[in-house]
Amino acid sequence: MIECELCGRRGATTKAKVEGSVINVCGDCVGFGREIPVVKIKPKKPSPKLDGMEDEIVEDLKEIVKAERFNLKLTQKEMAEEIGERTSVIKRIESGWKPPLKVLKKLERLFSLKLMEEASNTGVKKKKGKKELTIGDIIEVS
Ligand SMILES: [Zn+2]
């Protein structure tokens, strides 16, 4: 139990600012100073990811992988060894296959590149699409 620093009573549950210093006070003494609200941090619940909220793999992954592999002067086999995967994994990625996250993470590390688009970003991107005018709209305007 914390003692109230003003009256000495046990059970000081509040912090208050009194004459410039923050002290522990009981409920009765709070009035002498300015109460400091205790900010309670709620533990974050692991919320199930909603559809479309998941991080997405960049569209041109296979092009990036090919280009980066070329930059590093690695063969598919050598690159597979670098990330501890089979050569077939690299072949599949370069033909457009979206690898599991763990493989992707290894590629990100190898290339020092981001290969995932964060959910928030993709959400914005999707909204960017310009609505094209249909013939009906044009007739209405003119
Ligand atoms: Zn008190």
pLDDT tens for 30-63 read 888 888 776 776 766 665 555 555 568 888 999 9
- Residues 24/1, Cβ–Cβ less than 8 Å: no
Distance 28 CA to ligand 1 centre (A): 5
Distance 31 CA to ligand 1 centre (A): 10
Q: Which two tokens stand for residue 106?
A: 């290894």
Distance 41 CA to ligand 1 centre (A): 26
Classify the C-alpha dihedral 90-92-98-99 as positive or negative: negative
pLDDT in tens, 112-138: 998 987 755 444 444 444 556 666 665
Dihedral pair phi/psi, residue 113, rounded to 5°: -135, 155
Taking CA atoms, 61 is separated from 56, 68, 87, 110, 134, in Å, by 11, 10, 17, 14, 33
Distance 83 CA to ligand 1 centre (A): 63
- Residues 100/36, Cβ–Cβ less than 8 Å: no
pLDDT, residue 1, reads 80
What pTM was estimated for this model as a whole?
0.47
Q: Where are the domains of the chain?
A: 1-39, 56-128
Angle, alpha carbons 32-37-38 (nearest 5°)? 125
Distance 4 CA to ligand 1 centre (A): 5
Indicate the CATH number for domain 56-128.
Answer: 1.10.260.40
